[in-house]
Amino acid sequence: MKTAVYVYTGTGNSLWTARELASRIGQAELISLNRHEKQLPLCEADIIGLVFPVHIWGVPPPVMEFLDLIKTNPKPYVFAVAVNAGQVAATLIQLKKLLQAKNLHLSCGFSIDLPSNYIPWGGAISQQKQQKKISAALEKIERIAGTVRNKEDLPVEKGSLWQNIFFSLIYKKSLPHIAGMDKSFFADEKCSSCGICAKICPARNILMTEGKPVWQRRCEQCFACIQWCPEEAIQYGKGTRNKKRYHHPDISLKDMLACTEGKKS
């Protein structure tokens, strides 16, 4: 039984989740969606998994783009994990509908709550709090792997009704503006011109010009650039200068760059 786990990630939470899950499901191949090609080979796996972060209470645009492109065997078993910071809202309901439109059935969809990478709303939480979330996530991943191995069919996880209605509206209103939200990014005087931000960006949205990053208005809002800059030189508006950066503690810059370069994770 072949399993393909597709993963999109900005700060490693989804990559870590996908890895932990794949190792428990067995015979699973991890495929990175960071900078995926516009033409995808037929996916012949019997089980297909999608692991991605929740962005603005919904499915991130690159994942939607991938769903437009994927071609599969007639009836794969499909599962999903929406990695978030406590507000999955209607993300998995949205995903289920997107898959239905492709004649694919989402058999189960889970929320995994890990530390937030949305730095405008707060810097990294303490290492102790991070570990608490990671341990709880691991327990849930163990259960998810069992569900997938048994090919169970369950309702997808979702937020409360008011959250789903209200946040879905905000998601829809925000979608057309995501690409241009990078206008709030800038590199401050600490920038050492290392170019890591340009290399790690899944959207190829950063060009190095005279040794400094210049954002190109095709942002995916994954926050990889700001969170992985080794000098903490990237800011997002006025409020991020003194906030602690975050990426998953078990995911390295090398892992992320491999993901972006399309190498096996």
Ligand X SMILES: Cc1cc2nc3c(=O)[nH]c(=O)nc-3n(C[C@H](O)[C@H](O)[C@H](O)COP(=O)(O)O)c2cc1C
> Which residues in this chain contact ligand SF4 in the complex, by CB under 6 A?
10, 182, 187, 191-197, 201-203, 205-206, 213, 215, 219-225, 229, 231, 233-234
Min dist. Cβ of residue 80 to ligand SF4 (A): 21
Pick one of ligand X, ligand SF4, none as the site partner of residue 87 (Cβ within 5 to 8 A by kind).
ligand X
Q: Give the type of residue at 210.
A: E
Binding site for ligand X (CB under 6 A): 9-14, 53-57, 83-87, 114, 116-118, 221-223
Min dist. Cβ of residue 120 to ligand SF4 (A): 12
For the chain, the first-to-last Cα distance in angstroms comes to: 20
CB of 80 or CB of 222, closer to ligand SF4: 222
If we measure between CA atoms, which residue out of 233, 211, 221, 212 comes closest to residue 183? 221
Residue 132, token pair as written in the block: 């608490």
Angle at 226 between CA 176 and CA 127, to 5 degrees: 120
Min dist. Cβ of residue 163 to ligand SF4 (A): 24
Angle at 39 between CA 18 and CA 74, to 5 degrees: 70
CB of 178 or CB of 194, closer to ligand X: 178
Pick one of ligand SF4, ligand X, none as the site partner of residue 25 (Cβ within 5 to 8 A by kind).
none
81 close to 114: Cβ distance less than 8 angstroms = no
CB of 76 or CB of 156, closer to ligand X: 156
53 close to 84: Cβ distance less than 8 angstroms = yes
CB of 3 or CB of 227, closer to ligand X: 227
Q: Give the type of residue at 49.
A: G
CB of 32 or CB of 72, closer to ligand X: 32
How far is the CA of 98 from the CAs of 61, 73, 109, 223, 259, in angstroms? 12, 17, 13, 24, 25
Pick one of ligand SF4, ligand X, none as the site partner of residue 94 (Cβ within 5 to 8 A by kind).
none
Min dist. Cβ of residue 150 to ligand X (A): 26
